[in-house]
């Protein structure tokens, strides 16, 4: 339950601090790729190199208690399916998911204007339908559809100054 809360809170805060109104889709995609995906991919290849080095000297299986997967397999799984077999990269799946969720949020905002939360909710429900039926799309698309909802809610709260309105309503009493 904690895991579900803190990731939702992370995406909500990311949306809260986003500026969907002034930036274009291309600008958001470029800046998010530079800030999220470039470090993720760079770290993946650096740690893959270290894993190969450890494997070469027989240390990989001692440290991780398993044989190292083939390098070609590891790279293809990372880029095609979003699976990371470089174990010490950790739970960094959220970087890709945040990248996709922020682009989906911008698309919804551009296409639907102030009503962007309605299709966001629909995509959220679609993701839960996919998960409940055991569908696991590549690149964690189902998680991106869930993440975009919390991202959109965060943006909606900030864009409509809901926290400020709550503060002002308390002062009137």
Cα torsion angle, 123, 128, 133, 135, sign: positive
Sign of the C-alpha dihedral computed for residues 43, 44, 47 and 48 taken in this order: negative
* DSSP-derived 3-state class of residue 11: helix
pLDDT at 148: 97
d(CA 155, CA 136): 27
Residue 15: per-residue pLDDT: 95
The structure tokens listed for 81 are 């399916």
Q: Give the per-residue pLDDT at 99.
A: 96
The pLDDT averaged over each successive group of 10 residues in the chain (173 residues) is 79 93 91 95 94 95 92 91 80 89 96 96 95 86 94 94 71 53
Query: Please, are residues 131 and 143 in contact by the beta-carbon 8 Å criterion?
Result: no
Q: What is the pLDDT of residue 71?
A: 94
């Amino acid at each position: 339950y904690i895991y579900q809360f803190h990731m939702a809170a992370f995406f909500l805060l990311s949306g809260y601090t986003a500026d969907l109104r002034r930036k274009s889709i291309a600008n958001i995609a470029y800046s998010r790729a530079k800030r999220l995906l470039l470090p993720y991919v760079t770290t993946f290849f650096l740690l893959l190199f270290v894993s190969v080095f450890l494997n070469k000297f027989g240390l990989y299986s001692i440290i991780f208690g398993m044989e190292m997967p083939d390098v070609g397999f590891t790279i293809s799984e990372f880029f095609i399916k979003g699976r990371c077999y470089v174990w010490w990269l950790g739970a960094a799946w959220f970087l890709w998911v945040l990248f996709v969720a922020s682009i989906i949020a911008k698309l919804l905002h551009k296409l639907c204007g102030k009503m962007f939360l309605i299709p966001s909710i629909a995509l959220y429900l679609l993701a839960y339908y996919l998960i409940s039926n055991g569908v696991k799309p590549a690149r964690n698309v189902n998680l991106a559809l869930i993440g975009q909802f919390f991202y959109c809610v965060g943006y909606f709260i900030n864009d409509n100054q809901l926290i400020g309105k709550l503060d002002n309503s308390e002062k009137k009493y």
